Amino acid sequence: MSDHDAPAVRTLDYTDGVITMIDQTALPQDEVWLEIDNVADLVAAIKRLSVRGAPAIGVAGAYGIAMAARLHDPLTDTDAFETAVHDIREARPTAVNLAYTVDRVAPIARTDPAEAEAEAHRIRDEELAASVAMGELGADLVLELTGADSIRAMTICNTGGLATVERGTALAVIQTLNERSALAEAIPLETRPLLQGGRLTTWELQRMGAPFRLIVDSAGPFLLSRGAADVVLIGADRIAANGDTANKIGSFSLALAAKHAGVPFIVVAPESTIDMSTASGDDIEIEDRGPAEVASVRSTAIAPEGTDAINPAFDVTPAELITAIVTDTRIIRLAAGETLTSEANG
Ligand code: MRU
């Protein structure tokens, strides 16, 4: 079998109290599968980004609550269960999906622990269906907005099956364009410091047989100014009520450059990433991951020992720079004056 017909990877699964996940820190060199059967290991896996991407950590969190309810009966071992809920929910702060899924499964586990597993599976299935829907809606929109029939799509971080459960968000749009023979090339940014674009998006694009060329992060804005891409497609970790969007650091600079170049800038995310209780991007907590990731690449130091660094994992793109948000159920055309609460969008 060539890379081009490699089957889809299902990032995450759960059977009988054990979460199985591909270890994204080992890719692309090694395909390692982790079997996680306790809360401390799950929290550590989320924190070190073995499982990452907003929808994927949401699903992992849902399974984590189901697993915790098996280990600590919420009705009799309440303190241990509630500590587990807290630790999972707080493992990463920016992606709203984690809090959303924990808050969905935990109340069910508190009254009927067995039903928690069914709810977690429902969340996984919803993410799968959402990825397919976003791919179709997004591909239609890209073709409509660009008027082109062969698309050059720039993207950042990893928003594919690894970041969801299968197919993804922004990368699902690219995959759908490729399946429709409408993808000229994908242009992923490498995405320092942890190289999700260079390590993971390339791995997925290669497996799906899509044409692509990798660029360094700082080349993105310049290449947009030279007309190298027809569209920028990004995922999201949290979309505030006014449309401001938190996503991987570097998204904001791409949005500024896309505006300057007149290139559509499209956010692709499931409805579960929209957080109407957060008014604007100013209210979104941005995870700071500390200096070590900046001062090194894949554990090799690139700066003198003791170098301090600033390491925001995400930035916020203001709504005014976003052409449209594509979810699994609707398209919100921000550039045309629609809002997240407009009646018209659908
Ligand atoms: O730090 P990461 O790798 O979890 O960041 C992921 C992103 O920024 C993604 O773009 C976002 O979660 C959407 S994934 C479908």
Last residue of a domain, one of 97, 125, 153: 125
Considering the domain architecture, whether residues 116 and 140 belong to the same structural domain is answered as no
- Mean pLDDT in residue range 100-122: 96
Q: Give yes or no for a contact between 188 and 205, defined as CB atoms under 8 angstroms apart.
A: yes
Considering the domain architecture, whether residues 108 and 185 belong to the same structural domain is answered as no
Q: How far is the CA of 111 from the centre of ligand 1 (A)?
A: 32
Task: Give a three-class secondary structure readout of 141-176.
Answer: HHHHHHCCCCEEEEECCCCCHHHCCCCCCHHHHHHH
* 237 is an active site residue: yes
Whole-number Å distance between alpha carbons of 34 and 30:
12
Considering the domain architecture, whether residues 325 and 255 belong to the same structural domain is answered as yes
> Helix 170-179 crosses helix 113-146 at what angle (to 10 degrees)?
60
From the list 346, 275, 325, the residue with the least C-alpha distance to 103 is: 275
310-314 CB contacts, 8 Å cutoff, 24+ apart: 311/193, 312/249, 312/286, 312/287, 312/288, 313/94, 313/248, 313/249, 313/286, 313/287, 313/288, 313/289, 314/94, 314/237, 314/246, 314/247, 314/248, 314/249, 314/251, 314/284, 314/286, 314/287
Bond into 28 cis (ω within 30): yes
Q: How far is the CA of 310 from the centre of ligand 1 (A)?
A: 19
Considering the domain architecture, whether residues 143 and 268 belong to the same structural domain is answered as yes
From the list 151, 69, 148, the residue with the least C-alpha distance to 114 is: 69
Q: Which residues contact 48 (CB under 8 A, 6 or more apart)?
A: 25
In a domain, 341, yes or no: no
Identify the pLDDT of residue 344. 53
From the list 119, 107, 11, the residue with the least C-alpha distance to 63 is: 119
Residue pLDDT, tens place only, 34-71: 999 999 999 999 999 999 999 999 999 999 999 999 99
In a domain, 342, yes or no: no
Q: Which of 230, 237, 244, 315 is catalytic?
A: 237
Considering the domain architecture, whether residues 65 and 153 belong to the same structural domain is answered as no
From the list 41, 32, 42, 19, the residue with the least C-alpha distance to 165 is: 19
Q: How far is the CA of 22 from the centre of ligand 1 (A)?
A: 16
Tally of domains in the chain: 2
Decide whether any atom of ligand 1 lies within 6 Å of the 236 Cβ.
Answer: yes
What is the average pLDDT value for the chain, to the nearest integer? Answer: 96
Identify the pLDDT of residue 26. 97
In a domain, 183, yes or no: yes
Q: 299: which 2 tokens? A: 């554990």
pTM of the model: 0.96
Identify the pLDDT of residue 7. 63
- In the Cβ-directed half-sphere of 64, how many Cα atoms lie within 13 Å? 31
State the residue range of the domain holding 63. 3-125
Identify the pLDDT of residue 57. 97
Identify the pLDDT of residue 4. 43
Identify the pLDDT of residue 9. 73
Decide whether any atom of ligand 1 lies within 6 Å of the 196 Cβ.
Answer: yes
Considering the domain architecture, whether residues 290 and 321 belong to the same structural domain is answered as yes
Residue pLDDT, tens place only, 141-152: 999 999 999 999
- φ, ψ of residue 185 to 5 degrees: the values are -165, 150
Whole-number Å distance between alpha carbons of 257 and 224:
7
Query: Which of 25, 234, 247, 271 gets mutated to test ligand 1 (max ligand atoms within 8 A of its CB)?
Result: 247
What would the DSSP string read from start to end of 216-235?
-TTHHHHHHHTT--SEEEE-
Considering the domain architecture, whether residues 210 and 281 belong to the same structural domain is answered as yes
In a domain, 253, yes or no: yes
- Indicate which residue's Cα is closest to atom 10 of ligand 1: 235
Whole-number Å distance between alpha carbons of 26 and 46:
14
Decide whether any atom of ligand 1 lies within 6 Å of the 313 Cβ.
Answer: yes
Residue pLDDT, tens place only, 197-230: 999 999 999 999 999 999 999 999 999 999 999 9
Identify the pLDDT of residue 113. 87
Considering the domain architecture, whether residues 120 and 9 belong to the same structural domain is answered as yes
Last residue of a domain, one of 125, 160, 193: 125
Q: How far is the CA of 236 from the centre of ligand 1 (A)?
A: 7
From the list 188, 194, 184, the residue with the least C-alpha distance to 49 is: 194
For residue 295, count other CB atoms closer than 10 A to its CB: 18
Q: How far is the CA of 183 from the centre of ligand 1 (A)?
A: 23
CATH number at residue 71: 1.20.120.420
Q: Give yes or no for a contact between 170 and 139, defined as CB atoms under 8 angstroms apart.
A: no
Considering the domain architecture, whether residues 171 and 65 belong to the same structural domain is answered as no
Considering the domain architecture, whether residues 261 and 148 belong to the same structural domain is answered as yes
Q: Is the pLDDT of residue 124 over 90?
A: yes
Decide whether any atom of ligand 1 lies within 6 Å of the 95 Cβ.
Answer: yes
Decide whether any atom of ligand 1 lies within 6 Å of the 55 Cβ.
Answer: yes
Distances (CA, A) of 165 to 143, 221, 284: 26, 30, 25
- Mean pLDDT in residue range 236-244: 98
Considering the domain architecture, whether residues 193 and 259 belong to the same structural domain is answered as yes
In a domain, 81, yes or no: yes
